[in-house]
Chain A
Amino acid sequence: MSSGYQPFAGHGQKPAAPPPLAPGWTEHRAPTGHMYYYHPETKTSTYTRPVAAPTDPPVPSQQAYPLAGGFQNQNYPKQFDYNRQQRHDNTHRRPRPQEKPDKPKTKRAIPDAAPWLFVTTKKGNTFIHNPETKESLWAVPDGLKDAIEGLEKLSLNEERERERVRRRQSALEKQRQEQEDAMADQEEFDAADQYDYEDEEGDGGIEDGTESHGIKRQVSAAAEGDEPEDEYYDDEDDFDEEHDLKRIRMEQGGPVEFTEDDIDWQLGAMAEQYGLGEEDMEGNEDLAPEDGAFLFKDLLDDLQINPYSTWESEMPKLVEDGRYTTLPTTKLRKQVFSDWCQERIAVIKAEKEKEIKKDPRIAYLNFIEANATPKLYWPEFKRKFKKEPEMKDSKVSDRDREKYYRDYISRTKTSVETRENDLRKYLRTVKDLTRRTDIDNLPTSVSCDIRFVAVPKDRRDSIVLDHIRTLPDDAGTAESSSRDALEKQRRALQDREEAVRREQFYNSKDIARGKEALRETEMEIKRAMNVGKEGLLSHLEPAKEKDPEKDDS
């Protein structure tokens, strides 16, 4: 009780130097270390220091929130109920938390009334609070009434929204919660037992002369169990109750085990602090598996994972991201990863097919141009740049690379003019070039020739352009060549058609011949089957007769 009560009462009090007690009151220290005050005549005790009004002790004089009407009667004074307290005194036990003290649960700013907050407590009571003046009122002042009504309407809508979200939770979720509840109950029983036990010990240990009542402990083991526990479980809020228990134990220095509920509670408190609703906390669990998979794939896309890699090597990159946990098991993640890889590979393949194929040598030659120096021999150059993709490309053989490099180096040693002349000479021999050739898309016979590469880039372009311009009959040649090509195509088509026709003719003849042969054999078989009364002899006779005929013919 002490710990449960403390934060609430602790707001207003904790004076630096305690004022003197009112007459008739005595000060005591509870086993938990809290101070409390007892009035022997009225047989009442209180945690709040009775100073100003010693004649009405049960109600604490000073409170964090001035209590209004029903609330006060409902919970607060219960803890100071005379009879109950009496019983505690008799059994000489620390008063137990009969009822959870009310705590503020949600805070909402009231629109149009700036500093005022609308606070809802755990038990559903509401009051308004001004954090600037630290003023709290149960009754709403007239000036704020309209604003609060508007707020309530708003909150009603929100409530409905939340209800809808809650309804969406799967049956599995419910089941899980039920299980948890069952577990919590179980734990609570255990904890309560333990608590009783510890309680006994604790009282025995701490008992000292400050107890003014002097009533001896007459607690038998049987009496121990009967009274508190029943009230205990009547409580509405089991989780918090248990938590209070834990806290008491912690203050006593006893061993504390953190259960799942503790952690739940803590998480809940943190969420409240950050202004998260319950829905936000459970967001991930509500996700449908497809959504989870979708999010996970999104993550894979974002991090630019290599689809040609393995799960084991890519997994460390993913773990850091929040979306990693959208899928519950690693098995699932692996599966989604594999699916994603397949999709991605298909996409990459399609892209590659669309791409224009470039000669792999061009990249290598560009690389040479940028990096080759006469200072490096080929083996040195190779060793120095062995990690470069151009040097690793398997499409260009090592022999070619070496040849290109040596050629290039030997040419760079000559003067630029000679190189230019070489290029001009070479261009005259090339037949792939036409008037329409684009300078950026030169045929490989030019772009992959060492004479072309050896000339510095700015010079060679102008040379090639000059050469292209000198090519004869610009449009005419192009047109005539295209006409020639068409003519050629047409003739080829004709030839082909002729050939096909001939083929078909021979084929049909072959088929006819085959059919004829088949028919003949069939006839022969029929004749052979036709056996008369003479038996097989009849066949022999005509055969004999026929044979000489055949020989003749």
Chain B
Amino acid sequence: MPPIRTRNKRKPPPDGFDDIEDTLLEFENKMKDAENAPHEGKRKNEMLWPIFQISHQRSRYIYDMYLKEGITRELYDWLLKNKYADALLIAKWKKQGYEKLCCLKCIQTKETNFGSTCICRVPKARMSKETVVECVSCGCHGCASSD
């Protein structure tokens, strides 16, 4: 059995982790709550939405902190390595047109019947005004860059 690396036994994280630790803990607790929330009355699709949302928020938070220079490159890499943020999602945010992407599932065209992206990728300007979008995969209301 591999050794269990608890918070106190592992190698200390890079400098500056203390600053963001509280917020990360908050996200962790939120995630735990979302995982333990009852699924009664929810649709099959809806069950995973909060998980996607929280993971998105946390990734966004870490990426923002990095852009604001609140955390060092070293710490940022450490966080990505330790899966505090979704590196693949952040990689997409760096591409033009994907700045607000909600989740990777929504741009996976191979999984849709017509080989298209998710409805939440459609800009608001292209849809009629009253249409309320709630995408199936993560409950996103629209994540086009122009929105």
Which residues of A are at the interface with B, using a C-beta cutoff of 8 A?
A: 306-310, 312-313, 338, 341-342, 345-346, 349, 393-395, 397-399
Contacts and interface: CB of A to CB of B under 8 A. Distances in A.
Nearest to B27: A310
Given A394-B13, A394-B18, A341 B23 contact: no
Given A308-B19, A310-B23, A394 B12 contact: yes
B70 A307 contact: yes
A395 B22 CA distance: 16
A407 to B, nearest CB: 18
B69 A346 contact: yes
Dominant SS at the B interface?
helix
Contact of A310 (B17, B19, B61): B61
Interface in B1-51: 8-9, 12-13, 17-20, 22-23, 26
5 contacts: A306-B22, A308-B19, A308-B65, A341-B68, A399-B9
Nearest to B26: A313
A338 B20 contact: no
Contacts of B23: 308-310, 313
A308 B26 CA distance: 12
Nearest to B19: A308
B145 interface: no
Contacts of B12: 394-395, 397
B111 interface: no
Contacts of A307: 70
Contacts of A393: 18
Given A308-B20, A345-B69, 11 more contacts: A308-B22, A312-B57, A313-B23, A338-B68, A341-B68, A345-B70, A393-B18, A394-B18, A395-B12, A397-B12, A398-B9
List the 9 closest pairs (A to B, CB-CB), nearest first. A398-B8, A394-B12, A342-B68, A345-B70, A308-B19, A308-B20, A309-B23, A310-B61, A345-B68
B12 to A, nearest CB: 4
B74 interface: no
Contacts of B9: 398-399
A310 B57 contact: yes
Contacts of B8: 397-398
B64 interface: yes
Which range contains the number of B residues in contact with the other chain? 10 to 19
A308 B16 CA distance: 11
Contacts of A310: 23, 57, 61
A451 B19 CA distance: 33
B70 A308 contact: yes
B106 to A, nearest CB: 22
Contacts of A349: 69
Query: Which residue of B8, B12, B13, B61 has the most chain A CB atoms within 10 A of its CB atom?
Result: B8
A307 B69 CA distance: 12
Interface string B64-90: 110011100000000000000000000
A346 B18 CA distance: 16
A346 B70 CA distance: 8
Contacts of A342: 68-70
Contacts of A346: 69
A307 B20 CA distance: 10
Nearest to B70: A345
Query: Which residue of A313, A345, A394 has the most chain B CB atoms within 10 A of its CB atom?
Result: A394
Contacts of B68: 338, 341-342, 345
Contacts of A399: 9
A310 B69 CA distance: 15
Query: Which residue of A310, A342, A398 has the most chain B CB atoms within 10 A of its CB atom?
Result: A310
Contacts of B64: 338
Contacts of A313: 23, 26
A291 B9 CA distance: 50
A444 B48 CA distance: 52
Nearest to B13: A394
A308 B68 CA distance: 10
A217 B19 CA distance: 83
A393 B21 CA distance: 11
A393 B13 CA distance: 11
Given A308-B23, A310-B23, A310-B57, A394 B70 contact: no
Nearest to A393: B18
A402 to B, nearest CB: 10
A358 to B, nearest CB: 14
Nearest to B61: A310
A398 B9 CA distance: 6
Contacts of A309: 22-23
A338 B61 CA distance: 11
Nearest to A397: B12
A309 B57 CA distance: 12
A147 to B, nearest CB: 62
Contacts of A308: 19-20, 22-23, 65, 70
B57 A341 contact: no
A342 to B, nearest CB: 4
A349 B16 CA distance: 10
A308 to B, nearest CB: 5
A439 B12 CA distance: 31
A306 B8 CA distance: 25
